[in-house]
Structure 1
């Protein structure tokens, strides 16, 4: 009996050490993947694609240059271009004539203003013969079309178009700050976005299988610790009245330690990943396809520790209050409950009589928000998933002229399952130990 009890204790402690070792690797890999995915979302962010004016200048410039290069003045096309230029010139002359007519003197003005207006009108009629200009419109149109066949004119037109597009962007102030993107490219030693994207995706793909294996192994080892420690009976020894039916100290330490491992992993690793992106947006511009792919609209993946740090750094009173409450009910109370549970049931240094130990070991469950937080996280996941999916669905069906394929990547991350495991382990641990205490009483 003593040998079997010793084997159980040693095995439980060995499983606890193995779970802790695997958890360290799991936390490191998960945080590495979080950094990789955040950088990947940065280089594919919509502000460097669809919302970047410089990208539009490049796309539109390429289309216009292609159209200029394809401009081949055959007899049929020459007639069409000549007709279009004729209509343009005629419209221009009509607009000039309308503006000049608006400058004629007002009959109700003073004689001095009328004299000045008459002189100005006479000078305009002398210098600018609108009727003669209109008669020569076909001649001007033919001369313009003829110039399109002169060598080098196409290159001049393309250069001028590029200047006009660039000036339009500069005057609008719509330029995008690309320094965050360039910082990511430098950090990974990449020359362009495509190369950097492939490099990051390869590393993430290599880490994901190992993360799944580590997560399953950690939860499995913790479950084995509970099975070995709680199944098979608890030695009573020679209990006296008022003395709890104790676990061997090493088994109690293994149970509390395994539960604490799940808490630490759940707090320090991402729980929810919200990823909304446009997988593909395509439309026609001047007969040419314009396609944008993998445009990230929103991406966030953070652990509870990350959220608390951000709230504390905000400095706002309401955010600080939320940060304090989150820290208190997610970290302080669960950790103190585990420590008090070990101290109470092991009667470490006679701590069972201390009121604070009895409070956290026996009565703090109603104050712990761990189970409520799990439900809140799960409901937040459902809400984010539905909201993002609904909004992206509306975007995809916004227009028949624009083909939009959207992606909703909202998902629960390993941190959620670790935190869920902590809640379940805490319930099992408290129930088992309290049942032993009540039965002895």
Structure 2
């Protein structure tokens, strides 16, 4: 009877452990899927924002001669073709034209009144004085001036003037400067238009902004799903704190949740630096010239991206920093999690191994994961404040010139996940000291 009861109790424990494992495995799949989607969306967001910053880079907009050429051509064409004079302007202009014509007539009359030096000159002077009456010509000056103004205001003539002015601009730009950014801009635009199936930069910007907004919402939703899974595991620890027979299985499954947090925290973007001129508007030849979303700088990096960049640098000090981050912020947490699992599952001889025991209980003080969290936060605060102050100096609000700057620098969901891993790892370390079947000291 006693043996049967003991066997039945052992079977119940096994059944409870299996149910716990299968239940947490299903939840682990949910966290894994959410983490994978968060990782993919983070890469997609970085790619779209990189394309956006390339297309809207200030060197291809505000600093591009080709862009200015198009704007100036449009202004000249509009100013000449759509120029309309008021009655007062016509009156004032007619007076100016009359004065110019009168000055020409008086100058011609003065030349004729000079004493001729040759016989031919005397004959010309006699003929002009005989057949030309300068008083009659002067009397017709107002009519001439009016005719000239009406011809200048003729739509066909304004069209010809516009072509002439634009032709002069084209000759000037070809002889004065060759825009080196033109070929680069055409290449970037063509690739972006083909990639996103659009035909203009405005449509492209709207499409990218819409996509980024949707991606941002989905990223945070998946982040909350991952956090919800981890919180559920910790709540399960509280509910099963007295069921010691389930602690080993629960801890091993908890480690798997931690590995997923770490993987996503290391690969997803943590910090995004985005500084741009949101809007620049000024008046040129009576018309507004506007440049929008001129990107000054953009970078988005995960911890692994930072390590990769540092290690690939030619300077030894950069390589050393990259290796330190790799060892103490990535390898140490991985070794610690692995060692805790080995310590619980293995026999006492393996569990008491110095290497295993050290990484399971003592390596926390060497891990810089928590330091990285604080460092990134401090970098964000400092960099954000610096960009805000520097961009604020560019803000100008006046009638001829308006500049509005935008600082989109922000911490990304990857940072939230990495913080969650650090906190979750500390909690698991505390739990391990209470449930370990071996001496933890």
Specify the TM-score bucket, using the shorter chain as the normaliser.
0.7 to 0.9
Distance, in Å, in 2 between the alignment partners of 1:212 and 1:84 is: 69
Report which of the two structures shows the higher radius of gyration computed on alpha carbons.
2
Asked whether the equivalents of residues 335 and 359 of structure 2 are also in contact (C-alpha less than 8 Å), the reply is yes
Distance, in Å, in 2 between the alignment partners of 1:73 and 1:26 is: 62
Distance, in Å, in 2 between the alignment partners of 1:346 and 1:86 is: 107
Distance, in Å, in 1 between the alignment partners of 2:157 and 2:396 is: 43
Query: Which residue of 1 is the match for residue 394 of structure 2?
Result: 395
Distance, in Å, in 1 between the alignment partners of 2:41 and 2:406 is: 25
Query: Which residue of 2 is the match for residue 57 of structure 1?
Result: 69
TM-score, length of structure 1 as denominator length: 0.76
Distance, in Å, in 1 between the alignment partners of 2:154 and 2:413 is: 67
With over 3 angstroms needed to count, the CA separation of the structure-2 counterparts of 1:348 and 1:190, relative to structure 1, is farther
Distance, in Å, in 2 between the alignment partners of 1:347 and 1:256 is: 15
Query: Which residue of 2 is the match for residue 287 of structure 1?
Result: 286
Deviation track 1:210-237 (CA, whole Å, cap 9, x = no partner) reads 3222111111112212322454225557
Matched, 1:45 2:50: no
Distance, in Å, in 2 between the alignment partners of 1:322 and 1:357 is: 27
| Residue 209 of structure 1, aligned match among 192, 198, 217 | 217
TM-score, length of structure 2 as denominator length: 0.76
With over 3 angstroms needed to count, the CA separation of the structure-2 counterparts of 1:33 and 1:354, relative to structure 1, is same
User: For 1:1-400, what aligned pairs fall within 5 Å after superposition?
Assistant: 2=13, 3-71=15-83, 77=89, 148=152, 153-170=157-174, 171-176=176-181, 177-178=184-185, 179-229=187-237, 231-233=239-241, 235=243, 247-248=247-248, 250-347=249-346, 350-397=349-396
Distance, in Å, in 2 between the alignment partners of 1:188 and 1:283 is: 31
Deviation at residue 386 of structure 1 after TM alignment: 1.1
Which segments of 5 or more consecutive residues in structure 2 lack a partner in the other structure?
1-11, 101-140
Asked whether the equivalents of residues 330 and 369 of structure 2 are also in contact (C-alpha less than 8 Å), the reply is no
Deviation at residue 158 of structure 1 after TM alignment: 2.7
Deviation at residue 4 of structure 1 after TM alignment: 4.5
SS of the equivalent of 2:272 reads: strand
Q: Number of paired residues?
A: 382
SS of the equivalent of 2:269 reads: coil
Distance, in Å, in 1 between the alignment partners of 2:16 and 2:99 is: 102
Query: Which residue of 2 is the match for residue 427 of structure 1?
Result: 426
Distance, in Å, in 2 between the alignment partners of 1:79 and 1:33 is: 62
* Cα RMSD, aligned residues only: 3.3
